């Protein structure tokens, strides 16, 4: 369990680094991070704090969807939301203090690629530990239970619902679209490709390290 917790926390940190890299690229953040980003822009507040708050709302949404079927252990997702928010605050300050500004489109694409690579690796690590799902994934799981549709279908639907909400909030409160650009669309597919790559190359050694048996 100690190994799983360590790998889980490393996964969360790498995901946070990926989120900060996507913000730094200014080409749009990944779909699931669009609402926290837009909210941070509206209230001019730290992105990490907004991430924690929005993820807490996702936990409440799970409760509304499932009612008595809401798994009590999912309350622990608030800890995950807080840790993830803290990591994002930390990595954002790192980028602001040490990373060069994106002065051309090539640099923007580079940081977008870095973002997808770190997000993919972080997601791969956290999923393999099978400890606690992220709040957004918890909503997709709740939708799966309520609708009978597959988890992957509900995840895609929820991701793009989040983008739509972000778009509406951005236009209504900021009078322009922020955080949603071509990078958002690229990340929607690119992160998944990185996850597949890491799974193919690293799943067996990681599972061996965690003491998990295949099959």
- Output the pLDDT for position 132: 85
Cα(39)–Cα(88) distance, integer angstroms: 15
Does residue 180 belong to any structural domain of this protein? yes
How many structural domains compose the chain?
A: 1
Does residue 215 belong to any structural domain of this protein? no
DSSP letter at 149 equals: -
Q: Which positions ≥6 away from 127 have C-beta within 8 Å?
A: 11
Does residue 170 belong to any structural domain of this protein? yes
Does residue 156 belong to any structural domain of this protein? yes
In percent, how much of the chain has pLDDT > 90? 68
Does residue 72 belong to any structural domain of this protein? yes
How far, CA to CA in Å, does 36 sit from each of 45, 70, 189, 203? 10, 24, 20, 30
Q: Do residues 108 and 186 touch, judged by C-beta distance below 8 A?
A: no
Cα(117)–Cα(132) distance, integer angstroms: 22
Judged against a pLDDT cut of 90, whether residue 25 lies above it is answered with yes
Cα(109)–Cα(187) distance, integer angstroms: 11
Q: How confident is the model at residue 149 (pLDDT cuts 50, 70, 90)?
A: confident
- Output the pLDDT for position 133: 86
Cα(130)–Cα(127) distance, integer angstroms: 6
Query: How far is C-alpha 176 from the chain's CA centre?
Result: 23
pLDDT digit string, tens, across residues 67-78: 999 989 889 999
Does residue 125 belong to any structural domain of this protein? yes
Cα(179)–Cα(30) distance, integer angstroms: 9
Does residue 73 belong to any structural domain of this protein? yes
- Output the pLDDT for position 214: 61
Residue 134 tokens, joined: 């992220």
């Amino acid at each position: 369990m100690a190994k799983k917790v360590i790998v889980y926390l490393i996964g969360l940190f790498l995901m946070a680094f990926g989120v900060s890299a996507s913000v730094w690229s200014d080409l749009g953040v990944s779909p699931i991070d669009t609402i926290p980003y837009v909210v941070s822009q509206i209230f001019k507040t730290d992105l990490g704090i907004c991430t924690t708050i929005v993820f807490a709302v996702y936990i409440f949404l799970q409760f509304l969807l499932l009612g008595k079927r809401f798994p009590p252990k999912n309350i622990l997702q608030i800890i995950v939301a807080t840790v993830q928010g803290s990591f994002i605050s930390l990595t954002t300050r790192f980028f602001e203090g040490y990373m060069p500004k994106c002065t051309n489109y090539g640099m923007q694409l580079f940081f977008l690629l870095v973002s997808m690579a770190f997000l993919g690796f972080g997601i791969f690590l956290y999923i393999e530990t099978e400890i606690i799902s992220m709040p957004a994934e918890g909503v997709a799981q709740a939708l799966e239970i309520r609708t009978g549709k597959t988890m992957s279908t509900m995840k895609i639907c929820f991701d793009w619902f989040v983008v739509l909400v972000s778009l509406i909030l951005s236009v209504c409160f900021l009078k322009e679209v922020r955080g949603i650009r071509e990078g958002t669309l690229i990340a929607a597919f690119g992160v998944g490709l990185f996850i597949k790559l890491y799974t193919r190359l690293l799943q067996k050694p990681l599972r061996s390290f965690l003491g998990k048996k295949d099959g």
